[in-house]
Amino acid sequence: MYKTYELCPAAELSPYKTFECGQCFRWNPLAEEEYLGVASGRAARVYAAGGRTHIECEEADIGFWREYLDMDTDYAAARESVMRGEYLTQCAATGEGIRILRQDRWEALCSFIISQCNNIPRIKGIVEKLCSAFGEAFDTPWGVKYSFPDAARVALLEEPELAPLHAGYRAPYIINAARAVANGDIDLESAGEMDADEARRYLKTLNGVGDKVANCAVLFGLHRLDAFPVDVWIKRALKEHMPRGFDPASLGEYAGLAQQYMFFAERERSRLADGARESV
């Protein structure tokens, strides 16, 4: 049975900001501040209304979703800890309501391998094709959905079978990573016990996994909140707004949250500027 639960004040969890800050690829908008998503073979609708954020999900799954949404972390204190200087303070204000999701480790690793030199709409398209082709179907109030295929399932595939995904040069990296995880060469549970630097080096032993993908997998899959991925948006922000030689490690245990605030703020600034230009 699907039921609706109140989670928290909307300021503490913004569906729009959380699901549009580049950390996940299986949440899609139904309306402003209303998103439908799939994680670990479950589906849920998260929405803000009347100043509160709510979730509609299977009654038996509310515990899973509370953990997935990281509801036990004090994000007000975490946000305050990274408000260092005018720029980061502004980014934190813009990004208030972002939470770092506790995503499945294999799904995060595979998704960010797909993300290389890619844009978010195309990443989402490839991920959904992967799920509908090789995941398990299940019924929801919003129609049939598909789980993310586990590493053991993807490990059985050959590159031609991934051709319909149009993943390009990433296809062999996806299969290689799946086989490494499935046969135990890469143990994601053990990686979750490592510090961020050690986990990053460990994941970089995979073909096709460099600094950016490894950092994303560490932050979003292993939930090491001190990891700080650098993509084109962050590289530009660091160059334009931070002092030369800035070390993200100086932001402490929530450096990854600061990264998400920066990423979201830069994307929002670009989106609003594009909208202003289109309206002229």
| Spatial contact of 256 and 227, defined as CB atoms under 8 Å apart | yes
Query: Does residue 68 belong to any structural domain of this protein?
Result: yes
Q: How many domains does the chain have?
A: 2
113 and 64, same structural domain? no
Is residue 116 domain-shared with residue 55, that is, in the same domain?
Answer: no
Q: What is the pLDDT of residue 279?
A: 33
**pLDDT (average), residues 76-99:** 97
178 is a domain residue: yes
pLDDT at residue number 275: 58
Q: Kindly report the CA angle at 224 between 230 and 192, in degrees rounded to 5?
A: 120
Q: Answer yes or no: do 196 and 143 share one domain.
A: yes
| Domain end position, chosen among 22, 48, 72 | 72
Question: Is residue 209 domain-shared with residue 164, that is, in the same domain?
Answer: yes
pLDDT digits (tens, 9 = 90+) for 205-224: 999 999 999 999 999 999 99
Among 221, 244, 263, residue at a domain's last position: 221
Active-site residue set: 212
Burial class (CB in 10 A: 0-12, 13-18, 19+), 97: buried
Is the pTM for the entire model greater than 0.75?
A: yes
230 belongs to a structural domain? no
Q: Which tokens hold the place of 199?
A: 């986990």
Are 109 and 65 in a shared domain? no
Q: Residue 180 sits in which domain range?
A: 105-221
Residue 247 has pLDDT above 70, yes or no: yes
State which of 221, 244, 273 marks the end of a domain. 221
